[in-house]
Amino acid sequence: MKLVEQGTLRKMQVRLEQPVDYRIRLGEARIPLNQYLEKTIRLQHSGAIFCVHCDRKTNKSFSQGYCYPCFQKLAQCDSCIIHPEKCHFDQGSCREPDWGERYCLQDHIIYLANSSGLKVGITRATQVPTRWIDQGATQALAIIRVRSRLQSGSLEVMFKQHVADKTNWRDMLKGDATPLDMAEESRKLIQACRDEIKELEDRFGFFAISVLNGIEVVDIEYPVVQYPEKVTSFNFDKDPVVEGTLLGIKGQYLILDKGVINLRRFSGYDIQFNH
């Protein structure tokens, strides 16, 4: 096999096309991946791991790519990132107020996605449609726009009483989700939560929450030749070599004939890409 590139792995770069265009990021390199469908590839971990924030060499990665000191101090590693309804910027206790202004005090979208079934989620407005692709959604629909991460988290908590907020990644990797009438699902959900939405409007201000109407559903097709019948995961921490025929790419997963691997999970790992 020939070495194509070596560098520090980052989340795959995506572009919404039919199918999605994927590029693997190794250091400064951007390698088009779709061209390797039905071809044998090998990813080999050298054993080195570098923090995705400070580039410090570390023995262990935390929260998808951070060294322990960065994991402890950075706002982007705080628990409110996982639970946005707990955002505490307005309380003056954000670890990094400048970062909070850039990322949390920005417009966010509450959306419905169909990946392993219907789910509700949130993302910064600038991350549409990247967030949907990263989750392996085959359909997605923006339903509400708000002015901050805290507001989006409060709405998500409310909606997840009616709709799942997690993707079953194993089901997502076994095939495309059964198509849904996303506009109708949105209508039913907003109607069911009408009173709670009004309460949040009273809390945050009428103009903080905008229900989106007339938005088209985004249909997403992935470059997959064959889905696995049984999902087996590769792990660089247990086996430094991942090799096989590339049968598909979906979400942040490579689907090989011998198993799947979530590349985002191993951000910061020094990887050789061979073909």
User: How confident is the model at residue 187, as a pLDDT?
Assistant: 97
Per-residue pLDDT at 117: 95
CA distances from 50 to 57, 60, 184 (A): 4, 9, 46
Mean pLDDT by 10 residues, the chain (275 residues): 94 98 97 98 98 97 96 95 94 94 96 96 97 98 97 97 95 96 97 96 94 96 96 96 98 97 98 97
pLDDT at residue 70, rounded to an integer: 97
State the pTM of this model.
Answer: 0.95
Model confidence over 123-155: pLDDT tens digits? 999 999 999 999 999 999 999 999 999 999 999
- pLDDT value of residue 1: 86
